[in-house]
Structure 1
């Protein structure tokens, strides 16, 4: 590789970093006081959490987590606890769906997949129904003045279930906001939403499997019976699984955005607005949008 090529790659990387920073700062400035306070709280929390991990050591934390997960799996209704938490974190603005799904594998092995899958469908369907019943009037009023949202609704209505499935499989918006997204689009029916949610099962299966591998490495006694090659293999499997999850998420999101922008039979400007509506959903969602609350007051 020539020096000019190296400089070109560095320049592109730097431009990408600047775009990401500019976008992030722009979104931060648009947040209201509580949103900014929440960002600062998260930053403080993760700093404290990182310090906690360093002080306590990852091995002790992993062992404690393994012990608690084992106790939970031995409870008669331990699975119901995890199912209830998955249902709970399906409601905005809570987060942690992927973590709890991984914990299902951590506690129950691959038997945790049915727990995670069924409770994910149930939780998302419950969110869909409750938000649709409680905020249907609000959605209609808000969408009248939002061109991006009108474009998204028209595209979804025109293309139907296949597009709903693709968007549901996309990692962005995240799980909880994806639930809110589809409940906000009147063109999406409950049965379509539930069918689309079933297409997330491969991702759930992957995270459950990652949980099983992490559990094998978390217990000191189990690790003690492993030879070095087995430990390395399990570590590599966990790392590879995480990389697969990241790459597949990026690939699906890229394909979804490209597909929306190139839909046949839909004007290009409508395609672009629909794609932007998904990208900016966290800022413009009708059920989360603060300006709508101000207008109602």
Structure 2
């Protein structure tokens, strides 16, 4: 019986797993993954370029953003965009947050980004829970990293979920894991809400971009603090996952050993049990031994027959079958002689 966790019993402790090393050659060269690798490379390149040249990107998009701001209920548009790009593999969350800081200022911009982020994460939760649950269960049984993160979130409870949300681990990936490995929904929702202040860093950077005399030192401090917090949390999660990986591999080996111990001993085809009791191997062995003894007995009798007696007994008398035949023949001869002499002549 699996030991209970803070969220209830862990349903995967007694489930068969098959953690194997990643076949990187197959992963990179398999035709079915080629399209995904191309998309991933494009997304990565665009993300790097946007991160490096975010000032130019924001300046280019600023006129359009100001037109959106002047529309009635125009603030809903960035919220909708944030909700849509919350579903992987879409990206661009950082650019929208910077634009909100540029166009709406710090607090209104933060409110818009927080609302779009929260609604988007909730939508991602339900999408993965209902559409990709079977895939996630299979992945947890075969992928060691995914399995370790899933076990960590189940055993760690709310605080681990909160730390992961604060870390540098991509939020979309975390949401996918949380929604498919049994994390309580309210733990996830509260942790997501409490980590929304992370978004204020991006909004504040947007505010700094439009200052007449931009304070690069302030921008660098904001970047440094946000980077340090997220990296520290990520290292802590990695350290916890490292110990859980060892535990998962140990549990897998223990299940394999117990399965081998519980199996009945392997039988050859000659050891199949028979209805009459015993098995073929035992009965064959008995037959071979009895046949060998009979042959030895016959050989001994033949060798002594040449000497005329076996331990002082006539060979004919020593053989019960021959002796019975001789006595039976003599009895018939005596009976015939008696009948002959008793008849009148």
Instruction: Give the TM-score band, short-chain normalised.
Output: 0.5 to 0.7
* Offset, 1:40: 5.0
1:35 aligns with 2:36: yes
Distance 1:107 1:272 in 2: 52
* Offset, 1:178: 2.5
Which secondary structure state, in structure 1, belongs to the residue aligned with residue 123 of structure 2?
A: helix
For residues 207-249 of structure 1, the C-alpha deviation after alignment (integer angstroms, 9 at most, x for no partner) is 1111111133xxxxxx3xxxxxxx2x52322233223322222
Distance 2:98 2:79 in 1: 12
> Paired residue for 2:123?
126
> Paired residue for 2:19?
none
Distance 1:46 1:134 in 2: 27
Distance 1:27 1:250 in 2: 31
Q: Which has the higher helix share?
A: 1
Distance 1:99 1:29 in 2: 30
Determine which structure has greater relative contact order: mean sequence separation of CA pairs < 8 Å that are 6+ residues apart, divided by chain length: 1
Instruction: With the length of structure 2 as denominator, give the TM-score of the two structures.
Output: 0.55
Distance 1:261 1:48 in 2: 32
Q: Which of 144, 152, 157 is the matching residue for 1:155? A: 152
> In structure 2, do the counterparts of structure 1 residues 268 and 87 end up closer, same or farther at CA, with 3 Å as the change threshold?
closer
The answer for unaligned runs of 5 or more in structure 1 is 1-24, 217-222, 224-230, 274-297
Instruction: With the length of structure 1 as denominator, give the TM-score of the two structures.
Output: 0.63
Q: Which of 84, 91, 97 is the matching residue for 1:101? A: 97
Q: Which moved more, 1:80-89 or 1:94-103?
A: 94-103
Distance 1:151 1:35 in 2: 24
> Paired residue for 1:244?
225
* Offset, 1:166: 0.8
> Paired residue for 2:309?
none
Larger radius of gyration: 2
For residues 141-195 of structure 1, the C-alpha deviation after alignment (integer angstroms, 9 at most, x for no partner) is 44344454444333322221111111111111x132222232232x212211111
Aligned residues: 223
1:269 aligns with 2:265: no
RMSD: 3.4
The answer for unaligned runs of 5 or more in structure 2 is 1-23, 251-345
Q: Which of 57, 80, 84 is the matching residue for 1:84? A: 80
1:194 aligns with 2:201: no
* Offset, 1:64: 4.1
